[in-house]
Structure 1
């Protein structure tokens, strides 16, 4: 652009800048609310350049389009007649593409002009300058319709550029402050979630809190946390959800193959997704989820680690898409949450191991000290009772009742010992454990013992496996102490995987049950069977006893 003629140059010999320019700079330096600051700068530019109308167009964070407008010189009636503010077409779009000062004598004569909407006041002269700091462009300052009917001068342009620079500083500072506040909010949210997790909060409640925090911080329409389920390696399942259709989405499967969620879960790298409707969903509420994904365009997907899950946020078609700033903030938040989840998992496992160690110690002490002493006392009393059978039958029966009571006490203690062990984990090599139990109980008893284990024993669930060990131990113990047998047969049939019954049969060739047997031990076995929908059957005669314990095998 050629230098302006002498008459158009600003008067640098004056006592100082004009009042409008001073007001604009002071407004920028005051650091008040951004909207009010920008309005004062536009008013200062209008007053200094003697324009009829002024506006400040602020760009989006990516600098691609206009985000908002601050307009001076139009009343509410005129604004209502124009309708929505400019979107960045025509001359305004040209300035967005080429952020350089532009002075026009006739706005409508420029090739890039697209005219005015109905109700828009006539405008001829135009001055537009970029609002920037260094190389970063924040928006543009526009002035139109010089009041004296002439053109805007180079002096006007230079003064308005100074005001635009002040506006750039104000916008830049405001965005820095906004970014700092956003970081503080995200950090505070991560701290709250971490504190809840590490203080022993329920994991599911903590995960629900995470997705609720994410919806609030990202402005998403909905957010979901997906985890891998055991036995389902080809999909993730929504464990916690917040926002739109939150209740209906929980439990829905999202396949890993050919989906954004699957790609992020496997790669461990977060992504911005333009169209989340490409991700299919399957499950109990699949029809509801399909409706949601059809309306959900923009999405952001970040991983929480392969062993933990994946976090997904969505916005509808009518919402502004997620930006890179949301992806960065959510990735940082997810990283902190992942660390807290891992620490909470380690703490929980450590507590479980400590509790189990205490239980094992208590069970060991009960078995090695309490049970053995009671057992030795019962054996001594049993010998006394036998020696008194001929001399004093009444005293012998009283001693035998005491022995039976001690046997019942031992049975109850053994049941307590089994309950102390973790019923959720099945013992390793259950078939060998069953054989070992029989061997230990019959040791030094003189019994000729046979053990037969068939079926898928090692495939039994944890609780049923522990019940099976307890039943075999109790039945064999009863036979050793009371049957006075020479042979003992133990048969365990676990059946095929996923069907049939689990059966335990213990048979001896002893004296059979007494006419009025002490039922407490058998009652315990009956209760174990009935809790699982099974039964206990007893056949007894002077030539021996056979006890059958049967329960359905879980599918």
Structure 2
């Protein structure tokens, strides 16, 4: 039978506790001046790293510890942001780094160290401000070989509070500076978009987003007819590798983005399930819809490199606000461009109307006057010159009509038909030629010429003009597209004529690309031939390319 333990005398227990508290109070009182002096020496207004260095040094000296280590959590609380140490060896720092990396959020180091090799003596306290844990302050190995006392623990807690205040202030100031940067970025984007830089608007958004998010790339994606998202603007080390690539519609993140909801990709294991294509090769990413009113204009993506830290909650919020501001700026810029385009269209319509109502009518009247004079003249030379002048007036009228059609197409409209595409090719040839070729149309080109014949005619025109630029050394070029031509066997067709007054075809009868013209025409049951040019005595070359309608 085991005897019961004697009951301790309550008075003796109370007396022993009183003696312990008296001793603790005496020890704390003796240390208080040194602690206050040390805290004053820590100072304010210094960089965070300097403050933490001083706190670690002060804690080690006052507690008589061989080393002190401060582990600081990152702003998101997802891992260590750094380790500050005093008197610690490289092995100590590595062990502490591993400790803080595995320490659960809010846990006490002593609790976590139960399964880890401990130094002879150890103190670990959390660094907190309110309920938020910023890190831990740890001391190891008392210099005198003894154990850390309760007085040491209280002193370390005071210094941990000081460290928490310093870290909290630094985080607050960094968050303030970060918010200011995002606001300044939004203002810069808005100013750029509304100051006339509309052509590069999306590139400006991508560039600013990459800078502000400190990401590996800034991307702007626009919806595709197929349901996917195409990268149309990129700011990265190699933007050409990204531009034009498409995030397919089968990516689970795409429907969410097109519905106006952001997507954040932090977990490497979950990333392939959410996004496929080029974005799947990056690390943590923010995908933010650019929503204007009730429609999604596009998506802003700021992916970081693989293995980089995830975006914090503050960064996500600021980036979302930036995307919303950028979307508003894009809508305003689009509206401004529409107003400017409308003003241009109205002016072009006025010019076209004046050309039609005034210039053409005057040219017609002049032609009629010349024809009347031709009939009354008895001099053959005069009649011939008048006839030539009437022909020139007819060509001028045709060119004015072409100019009217061009004016009414609109400055930013895509080519609406064959006529507009011919105009574009002829206009492009004016630069290398050094002058504007003459161009005329006969018949309803857009209505009569089909898509296949039109596409081949454009290719033939491009080839013929290229030959003139490279070989002819011409001072005059005329292009005629006749949709009322009659081909062999009485077939209706379209005829393209490109004539110049240059040096003509070389003696060997060949010129680069002429064989291609023949093959292209024959593939449509047509033909391509060479004729005399515009120069005196037929000098130069005329390419006559025709296919049935």
Range class of TM-score, shorter chain: 0.5 to 0.7
| Gap runs ≥5 in structure 2 | 1-13, 425-437, 459-476, 483-494, 499-516, 522-526, 530-543
Q: Offset at 1:190?
A: 2.8
Mark the CA change 1:81 to 1:20 in structure 2 (over 3 Å): closer, same or farther.
closer
Q: Report the counterpart of residue 57 of structure 2 in structure 1.
A: 43
**TM superposition shift of 1:359:** 1.5
Q: Shift in Å at residue 141 of structure 1?
A: 1.7
Distance 1:225 1:365, change over 3 A: same
SS of the residue 2:287 aligns to: strand
Alignment match, 1:463: 420
> 1:348-393: CA deviations, max 9, x gaps?
332222222211111111221222233234334434544x26x777
> 2:70, 2:84 within 8 Å by CA — same for their partners in 1?
yes
Equivalent position of 2:194 in the other structure: 198
User: Is 2:425 the counterpart of 1:410?
Assistant: no
Q: Which residue of 2 aligns with 1:277?
A: 272
Task: Look up the match of 1:216.
Answer: 211
Tell me how far apart the structure 2 counterparts of residues 493 and 355 of structure 1 sit (CA, whole Å). Answer: 30
1:304 aligns with 2:322: no
Confirm or deny: 8 A CA contact 1:500 1:552 kept in the other structure.
Answer: no
| Structure 1 counterpart of 2:99 | 88
TM-score (norm 2): 0.68
2:262 and 2:286 in contact (8 A); partners too: no
1:495 paired to 2:450: yes
Q: Compared with structure 1, are the counterparts of its residues 37 and 64 closer, same or farther at alpha carbon in structure 2 (3 Å cutoff)?
A: same
- Out of 525, 534, 540, the position equivalent to 2:480 is 525
Change (3 A) 1:37 1:473: closer
Q: Provide the residue aligned with 2:171 in structure 1.
A: 175
Q: Structure 1 residues 129 and 57 mapped into 2: Cα distance closer, same or farther (>3 Å)? A: same
Aligned twin of 1:454:
none
Kindly indicate whether the alpha-carbon contact (under 8 Å) linking 1:426 and 1:461 is maintained by their aligned counterparts in 2. Answer: no
> Are the equivalent residues in 2 in contact too, given 1:235–1:253 (CA < 8 A)?
yes
1:421 to 400, 408, 411: 408
**1:24 partnered with 2:42:** no
Query: Which deviates the most, 334-343 or 418-427?
Result: 418-427
Equivalent residue, structure 1, for 2:360:
371
Measured in 2, the distance between the counterparts of 1:196 and 1:384 equals 62
- Matching residue of 2:72: 58
Match of 2:229 among 215, 228, 236: 236
Asked if the contact 1:366–1:413 (Cα under 8 Å) also holds between the matched residues in 2, the reply is yes
Which structure has the highest helix share of the two? 2
Residues 423-464 of structure 1: CA deviation (Å, up to 9, x unaligned):
66489xxxxxxxxxxxxxxxxxxxxxxxxxxxxxxx846715
Equivalent residue, structure 1, for 2:6: none
- Paired residue for 1:71? 85
- 1:353 and 2:342 equivalent? yes
In the alignment, is the contact (CA less than 8 A) between 1:501 and 1:551 conserved in 2?
no
> Is the Cα–Cα contact under 8 Å of residues 206 and 235 in structure 2 kept in the other structure?
yes
Structure 1 portions without partners, runs of 5+:
117-121, 283-288, 428-458, 477-488, 504-521, 538-547
TM-score for the superposition, normalised by structure 1? 0.67
Given the alignment, which residue of 14, 18, 22 partners 1:7? Answer: 22
CA drift of 1:331 comes to 1.5
Mapped contact 2:85–2:93 kept (Cα < 8 A): no
Deviations 1:494-552 (A, max 9, x none): 3368988799xxxxxxxxxxxxxxxxxx9552599457x89999xxxxxxxxxx99679
Q: Does 1:166 align with 2:162?
A: yes
Query: Following TM superposition, by how much is the alpha carbon of 1:56 offset from its aligned partner in structure 2, in angstroms?
Result: 1.4
By how many angstroms is 1:31 displaced?
A: 2.1
Q: 1:280 to 1:147 in 2, by over 3 A?
A: closer
- State the match for 2:115 in structure 1: 114
Secondary structure of 2:115's counterpart equals coil
Number of residue-to-residue matches in the alignment: 446
* Cα distance between partner residues in 2 of 1:129 and 1:13: 18
Aligned-partner SS, 1:337: helix
> Do the aligned residues in 1 keep the contact of 2:186 with 2:325 (CA within 8 Å)?
yes
Q: What is the DSSP-based 3-state SS (H/G/I as helix, E as strand, rest coil) of the residue aligned with 1:17? A: helix
Tell me how large the CA RMSD over aligned residues is.
Answer: 4.3
After TM superposition, the structure 1 = structure 2 runs for residues 440-459 of structure 1, keeping only pairs within 5 Å, are: none
Q: For the residues of structure 2 that align with 1:300 and 1:364, how far apart are their CA atoms? A: 52
Residue 259 of structure 2, aligned match among 263, 266, 285:
266
Distance 1:426 1:321 in 2: 43
1:170-218 CA-to-partner distances (Å, cap 9, x unmatched) read: 11110011111112222233333333333333634x4344334333333
> Residues 192 and 133 from structure 1, CA distance in 2 versus in 1: closer, same or farther, beyond 3 angstroms?
same
Alpha-carbon distance in 1 for matches of 2:184, 2:247: 31
Q: Contact 2:259–2:296 at 8 Å: present in 1 too?
A: no
Deviation at 1:401, TM superposition (A): 4.8
